[in-house]
Amino acid sequence: MSIQKGVLILASASSIRKKILLSAGLKFSVCPSGVDEEKIKQTNKHLRPIDLAALLATKKALSIPSNLNELVIGSDQVLEIDGQALDKVNDMQEAKDRLWALRGREHFLVGASALARNGKIIWKNQQKSRLVMNKFSRQLLDEVMQISGERLLKSVGCYELEAETICLFKELDGDYTAMLGLSILPLLTALQKFGVLIK
């Protein structure tokens, strides 16, 4: 049983991040950051994918005004393949092409989280998870995409590990909640450290 003190703000409209926090028993408010992610990505192409994720997470955390009793959670995730970061696709055909390009291959989900208080970053965390896809058939891909629909466009990998597209994978190596979009255990430890949670 945890006792929560202070106010948590999630600087994201991500439904999966909300679910992760709720599953951990946290109470929080949601305030999407409004950060121009595409502009940040375009002006920081020189960064390694994991550093880009960290930059986006800190920008999001700092975008929401807070006081000494509030902590703002910023989080972001980037798909890395062959050392390069990929952006989200625009339509279902591009999603199909993306998944077929990942077929039978290894890629990484690199994520970062940050906590801001009173306009300053007080904690950061980075995670890198390894994923390997099966050599699935076009028929299976078509069937899974038909079931999943346009939800796949919300993910840079065009898949949902918590839903039907999990059958396209051969290996998952890393923190599962980090793969979903927010590594919860390091965050809970940080919240205890900063007096928001008491165990």
Contact 78, 110 (CB under 8 A): yes
Residue 181 belongs to some domain of the structure: yes
CA 42 – CA 45 distance, rounded (Å): 6
Strands (E), 28-140: 29-30, 70-81, 84-86, 106-117, 120-133
Residue 93 belongs to some domain of the structure: yes
For residue 172, name the pLDDT band (cuts at 50, 70, 90). very high
CA 179 – CA 182 distance, rounded (Å): 7
CA atoms within 13 A on the CB side of 188: 17
**Domain CATH for 172:** 3.90.950.10
76 is in which domain, residue-wise?
A: 7-198
pLDDT at 5 over 80: no
**41-60: average pLDDT:** 93
DSSP 8-state class, residue 131: E
Domains of the chain: total: 1
For residue 68, name the pLDDT band (cuts at 50, 70, 90). confident
Residue 123 belongs to some domain of the structure: yes
* pTM for the whole structure: 0.90
Residue 2 belongs to some domain of the structure: no
Which positions are catalytic?
A: 76
Contact 158, 164 (CB under 8 A): no
Residue 85 belongs to some domain of the structure: yes
3-state SS of the chain: helix, strand, coil percent to 5? 40, 30, 35
Higher pLDDT, 68 or 93: 93
Residue 1 belongs to some domain of the structure: no
Residue 170 belongs to some domain of the structure: yes
